[in-house]
A and B are shown apart, each in its own frame.
Chain A
Amino acid sequence: MNLKQDLTEIVGAEHVSDDPEVLEKYSKDFSFVQPRRPSIITFPQNAEEIQKIVKYANVNSMAVTPRSSALGFYGAGIPNQGGIIIDCSRMNKILEVDPRNKKVKVEPGVTYAQVQEELAKHGMYVANPLLPHKAKSVLTSTMEREPILITKSEYSEVFLTSEVVLPTGDMYWTGTALGKGMKGQNFPDALIPGTRLWLGAQGTLGIMTWANLKAEHLPTLDKLFFIPINKVEQIADPVYTIQRKMLGNECFVLNAFNLAMIVAEKWPDEFNTLRDSLPPYTIILCLSGLHRLPEEMVGYQEEALMDLAKELRFSVQRTVGGIAGLEATILKILRKPWQKDVYWKHQYKGACHDVFFHTTMDRVHEFTAMMNETAAKHGYPTRDIGVYIQPLERARAAFCQFSFHCDPNNAREAAMVKKLFLEASENAINLGGFFTTPYGPWADMVYSRTAQYTALLKIVKNAYDPNNVMNPGKLCF
């Protein structure tokens, strides 16, 4: 076996790298996950090449770890057992935009920046998470079930169908993509197993070579409303009632720290001023009109919103903290990735570590209190915690994200935040926060509590990856 030579034969010399610097780059990401250098990086350009690499890995018992790019936040792409990295960033074509069926077909290397730009030409977009990194793969984000800003149930489960290179190197297609005779190939539940088995799998059950995703028509009119909230306990009621009436497109909640991070232009002065002047929490609600009679569509929603505000006595404003042009600022970035070079979460100290999980809106305050306590215990200033609450599916559930910031070059601070991160994660699990995608250290925390689910997952993994070559060491594998 000559690893480099063998892989070169598959993808070409210019698409294989064992340069130590490159290997170093792929050994880590923004997370606390223990770095581990891969043996080699490959940059295939199609499914066939991926198949060959995976088959090669099976023959030679090499680990393969798929990546959509070098970018990583949660450790999913760090090769826990070394081996071959399959970086799909060259596979960055938008294969199809289908406005009629509201779908877009993308390769794994397609970024949010790319897809939103292309779809905008068709008056469309992919419902996105909060300000994703511009280099983030849209396929990976949707495959990993990142929560979207839009609370409509009909938009949820963005990922539809896909082509997969299974860990054995065999090809598979999920949902109706399995049938060449299906015109749309976009229904996720055809023959068993359906598409969802591959979601949240962190590349352990296969490598997606393309995916059909839901795409939505861009509103033609947006009107943003801000609901200032003083105490975290007061968030749930307005969110529940607004969502129960099915009002709005995007709806999310940020604390003053996170909102200031997003809107501040001048660092650090403006950020500090804003953080102090903004309400502790703000519910941000976007009422949107589509292409038909948009004013009327926004109009009836606005009227219903105002009626609710009167009834439940919450304040509905056009801005908060006295910020001029806040609506325009937010609308500019709402359906796009973060544009600036420094990612928004890294502006404050250079690094940010998120503890995120699912719960229900009525329990958000319990988690917030716990996070504050845990932070205080570790000497981390509670005012430096970024809080993002995302109501999901008309507030049937909530995604909570608590961000802890540190200077990555300050070893002491980073160590403190790491300890805090781990304890906060453990506490969140103990409090009932659900870690739907257990990354890095969360995997042990979660799977140690779900014995039989874990045992069945291992059976599934063994069925699809009998040689355990595909991103081993992740999840419970």
Chain B
Amino acid sequence: MPYGDEKHQLIYQGLVDILGKDNVADGPATVRAYARDMFALSTMRRKRPPEFIVLPGDTEDIRQIILLANRYKFPYSVMSTGWMFPMLGAVKPYWCIIDFKRMTRIEFDEKNMYAVVEPYISHAQLNAESIKRGLYNGAPSVGGQFSTLANHSWHGWHATAFRTGFSTRNILGMEWVLPNGWVVRTGSLAQTGTHPFWAEGPGPDLKNLRKGIVSDNGSMGVITRMAIKLYPWPGPKYLPTEGVGPGKKCELPRDKFRWFFFEFADQPSMINAMYEIGKAEISFMMQRYPAQVLAWEYSKSREEYWSLFEPGSWVDHCLNMLAVCLWAHASKKQLDYEEKVLKQIMSETGGKPVPDEVYNRIVPVLANTMTRPAFGPRWCRIGGSMQTSFLQCDTLDHMLSIQPDVWGIVHKYTPPYLEHYGDSAWILPFDFCHFGGSDTAIPHEKSDDVCKGVVKESMDTIALDIRTSRPSFSLSIAPANFVGPNFANFHIPLSRIKRAIDPNNLSNPTRFIDIEMMDKETAAKAAPPPSPAQSKQ
């Protein structure tokens, strides 16, 4: 560990010169706070903290940090709220983490329905400011306490996706510092400099160098500002809550929002219902809310969570449960119309309303929270950790077809995975069911042994996704050069771009695309075969 050596001191002084002493830290006690989280991979790597943490105040600060990194050749990664840390933590000496805590500006263009945020604006902050203005910004299932910029740029799985689409579609103009120090602005921000109202262009949409099903993990540079699309919100200016946490309730006005939950005998019938709802273009939120997630988000304590596994638990009604929320953008008559159509669809597809007892539990505690998610992190309360590796997006029928593979893997690894509530994956349609996604999140204990098993599961899932040729979440978090040979060598042009904009390979190296590994492989191939004498040695 080169902590405190001459290079360290040079870097430290350089960072202080840019940001001031108060905004640079290299103390072992301070950097320790940036070493781990609840994911298995981080747990395995927890004893490797970064060497520096910096708090830039704006884009120019970040540009200067990056220029310094190129001068002294130190790697860096970014962190906003730090949830998806496995892909951002330090893996090399002299690692610097750019912490965005000072970048908290937020601006609105209410008429044109977008907000411009810096990286440390949380989703809930954006949501609070949006609904005051009659606007809405989607509902990430991960929870409201996370950076909305990071959420949109990393993955962005929103409970409102049936109408608000996949996150990529909601990113408008953005500002981004390349690893060579250039400041690139995308969409209309590129040309106008001030109005980020439009996402694509001029010409090809360069945002897509950074965004697929998940992002490049900051390997292509640092996003410093992002304009995010907003949608009309028919609800009140403040979320109407009652009581004190964790038993808090939220009642949205019934003349504006109506929730429905339907049980299905099987998954195909439920998927059919989804397609029909998509075809009829009714409702604003529609998804299969998995019983597992529902159980951990609903329960206010560990004891309550495990009690839900008792025979006859009300959660049994939620195994194949479709959650639908109608929003009255136009009028109450819209709700009446949509309710009528919804019931018609249910009568055709076999959906039965859940019992009142179940309905009344879910709506005020969980369903309404979907408009501003609060309980995502409860998944860690079951065993300290959770794993999502099987996540794919394509047609809803595809989602149905992959379920045996999903649960095959999960069952194989249960234990170490903990018992889950039914084989119910999250199934989320996007854009009126033009496509959709399936996500499986399973809790596990956070111990070294268990985490080893879980990392092995990730490798199995990657192998399965490669074998079955499914470009998925798991493949997106593996280095592109590892996956690329199975997928049209997509990593080759990407590596050229990465090399051109990050000549010293400093922007979160090894993640997204592992240039070092590529170079080693190239060198190994180029090396002459060992002579018989060498072989003997």
Q: Is B166 an interface residue (CB 8 A)?
A: yes
Residue among A394, A436, A466 making CB contact with B231, cutoff 8 Å: A394
CA distance A157 to B432 in the complex (A): 13
Q: Is B114 an interface residue (CB 8 A)?
A: yes
Whether B487 pairs with A292 at a CB distance below 8 angstroms is: no
Chain B min CB distance to A385 (Å): 23
Q: Is B395 an interface residue (CB 8 A)?
A: yes
Whether A245 pairs with B212 at a CB distance below 8 angstroms is: no
| Across-interface contacts of B341 in A (CB, < 8 A) | 292-293
Chain A min CB distance to B219 (Å): 10
Q: Is B526 an interface residue (CB 8 A)?
A: no
Q: Is B497 an interface residue (CB 8 A)?
A: yes
Residue among B331, B337, B340, B488 making CB contact with A172, cutoff 8 Å: B488
Chain A min CB distance to B405 (Å): 10
User: Which A72-103 residues have C-beta < 8 A from chain B?
Assistant: 100-103
A 160-189 binary contact with B (CB < 8 Å = 1; else 0): 100000100011110010111111111111
Whether B200 pairs with A183 at a CB distance below 8 angstroms is: no
Query: Chain B interface residue count: which class?
Result: 35 or more
Whether A396 pairs with B489 at a CB distance below 8 angstroms is: no
Residue among A182, A185, A397, A460 making CB contact with B197, cutoff 8 Å: A397
Q: Is A191 an interface residue (CB 8 A)?
A: yes
Whether B185 pairs with A176 at a CB distance below 8 angstroms is: no
Residue among A166, A214, A452, A457 making CB contact with B203, cutoff 8 Å: A457
Whether B211 pairs with A240 at a CB distance below 8 angstroms is: no
CA distance A290 to B192 in the complex (A): 39
Q: Is B207 an interface residue (CB 8 A)?
A: yes
Chain A min CB distance to B321 (Å): 22
Q: Is A197 an interface residue (CB 8 A)?
A: yes
Q: Is A192 an interface residue (CB 8 A)?
A: yes
Residue among B169, B192, B216, B394 making CB contact with A184, cutoff 8 Å: B394
Residue among A100, A153, A189, A466 making CB contact with B397, cutoff 8 Å: A100
Whether A300 pairs with B497 at a CB distance below 8 angstroms is: no
Q: Which residue of A lies closest to B340 (CB)?
A: A293
CA distance A196 to B476 in the complex (A): 17
Residue among B203, B278, B497 making CB contact with A438, cutoff 8 Å: B203
User: Which B390-417 residues have C-beta < 8 A from chain A?
Assistant: 392-398, 401
Known: A100-B275, A173-B488. A460 touches B337 (CB 8 A): no
| Across-interface contacts of A396 in B (CB, < 8 A) | 112-114, 197, 229-230
| Across-interface contacts of B396 in A (CB, < 8 A) | 101
Q: Is A429 an interface residue (CB 8 A)?
A: yes
Residue among B178, B215, B468 making CB contact with A456, cutoff 8 Å: B178
Whether B394 pairs with A187 at a CB distance below 8 angstroms is: yes
Chain A min CB distance to B403 (Å): 12
Whether A290 pairs with B201 at a CB distance below 8 angstroms is: no
Q: Which residue of B lies closest to A431 (CB)?
A: B192
User: Which B159-216 residues have C-beta < 8 A from chain A?
Assistant: 163-166, 168-169, 178, 182-188, 190-192, 194-195, 197-198, 200-213, 215-216
Residue among B202, B280, B435 making CB contact with A290, cutoff 8 Å: B280
Whether A184 pairs with B395 at a CB distance below 8 angstroms is: yes
Known: A193-B209, A303-B331, A396-B229. A183 touches B398 (CB 8 A): yes
Whether A436 pairs with B208 at a CB distance below 8 angstroms is: no
| Across-interface contacts of B349 in A (CB, < 8 A) | none
Q: Is A361 an interface residue (CB 8 A)?
A: yes
CA distance A476 to B281 in the complex (A): 41
A 443-457 binary contact with B (CB < 8 Å = 1; else 0): 000110110110111
Whether B200 pairs with A176 at a CB distance below 8 angstroms is: no
Chain B min CB distance to A367 (Å): 13
A 383-408 binary contact with B (CB < 8 Å = 1; else 0): 00000000001111100000000000
Q: Which residue of A lies closest to B331 (CB)?
A: A304
Q: Is A217 an interface residue (CB 8 A)?
A: yes
Residue among B188, B469, B500 making CB contact with A358, cutoff 8 Å: B188
CA distance A242 to B183 in the complex (A): 38
Q: Is B4 an interface residue (CB 8 A)?
A: no
| Across-interface contacts of B202 in A (CB, < 8 A) | 200, 434-438, 446-447, 450, 453, 475
Whether A200 pairs with B201 at a CB distance below 8 angstroms is: yes
Whether A200 pairs with B334 at a CB distance below 8 angstroms is: no
Whether A192 pairs with B494 at a CB distance below 8 angstroms is: yes
Q: Which residue of A lies closest to B431 (CB)?
A: A154
Whether A449 pairs with B191 at a CB distance below 8 angstroms is: yes
Q: Is A34 an interface residue (CB 8 A)?
A: no
Whether A186 pairs with B394 at a CB distance below 8 angstroms is: yes
Residue among A182, A394, A435 making CB contact with B191, cutoff 8 Å: A435
Known: A157-B169, A304-B334, A457-B204. A192 touches B210 (CB 8 A): yes
Q: Is B105 an interface residue (CB 8 A)?
A: no
Q: Is A145 an interface residue (CB 8 A)?
A: yes
Chain A min CB distance to B258 (Å): 14
User: Which B487-511 residues have C-beta < 8 A from chain A?
Assistant: 487-490, 493-494, 496-497, 500-501
Q: Is B248 an interface residue (CB 8 A)?
A: no
| Across-interface contacts of A244 in B (CB, < 8 A) | 134, 232, 329
Whether A102 pairs with B434 at a CB distance below 8 angstroms is: yes
| Across-interface contacts of A240 in B (CB, < 8 A) | 111
Whether A181 pairs with B469 at a CB distance below 8 angstroms is: yes
Residue among B165, B182, B281, B434 making CB contact with A160, cutoff 8 Å: B434
User: Which B95-123 residues have C-beta < 8 A from chain A?
Assistant: 109, 111-114
CA distance A431 to B479 in the complex (A): 43
Whether A434 pairs with B340 at a CB distance below 8 angstroms is: no
Chain A min CB distance to B96 (Å): 23
Q: Is B333 an interface residue (CB 8 A)?
A: yes
Q: Which residue of B lies closest to A145 (CB)?
A: B200
Q: Is A195 an interface residue (CB 8 A)?
A: yes
| Across-interface contacts of A198 in B (CB, < 8 A) | 204
CA distance A360 to B329 in the complex (A): 22
Whether B494 pairs with A453 at a CB distance below 8 angstroms is: no
| Across-interface contacts of A183 in B (CB, < 8 A) | 394-395, 397-398, 401
Whether A297 pairs with B212 at a CB distance below 8 angstroms is: no
Q: Which residue of A lies closest to B484 (CB)?
A: A191
Q: Is B139 an interface residue (CB 8 A)?
A: no
| Across-interface contacts of B433 in A (CB, < 8 A) | 101-102
Chain B min CB distance to A163 (Å): 10
CA distance A463 to B491 in the complex (A): 11
Chain B min CB distance to A23 (Å): 27
CA distance A301 to B232 in the complex (A): 16
CA distance A293 to B134 in the complex (A): 29
Whether B488 pairs with A192 at a CB distance below 8 angstroms is: no
CA distance A187 to B214 in the complex (A): 13
| Across-interface contacts of A264 in B (CB, < 8 A) | none
| Across-interface contacts of A201 in B (CB, < 8 A) | 203-204
Whether A197 pairs with B500 at a CB distance below 8 angstroms is: no
Query: Could you list which residues of chain A lie within 8 angstroms of chain B, going by C-beta atoms?
Result: 100-103, 145, 153-157, 160, 166, 170-173, 176, 178-202, 204-205, 214, 217, 240, 244-247, 290-293, 296-297, 299-301, 303-304, 307, 358-362, 393-397, 429, 432, 434-438, 446-447, 449-450, 452-453, 455-457, 459-460, 462-464, 466, 475-476
Known: A183-B398, A196-B204. 9 other contacts (CB 8 A): A101-B434, A166-B493, A176-B470, A181-B468, A188-B168, A197-B209, A307-B331, A450-B202, A462-B496
Query: Could you list which residues of chain B lie within 8 angstroms of chain A, going by C-beta atoms?
Result: 109, 111-114, 134, 163-166, 168-169, 178, 182-188, 190-192, 194-195, 197-198, 200-213, 215-216, 229-232, 275, 278-281, 329-331, 333-334, 336-337, 340-341, 344-345, 392-398, 401, 431-435, 437, 468-472, 475-476, 480, 483, 487-490, 493-494, 496-497, 500-501, 512
Return 11 A-B CB contacts under 8 Å, by A number: A179-B472, A182-B392, A182-B394, A191-B490, A197-B209, A244-B134, A293-B344, A303-B333, A434-B198, A434-B201, A462-B496
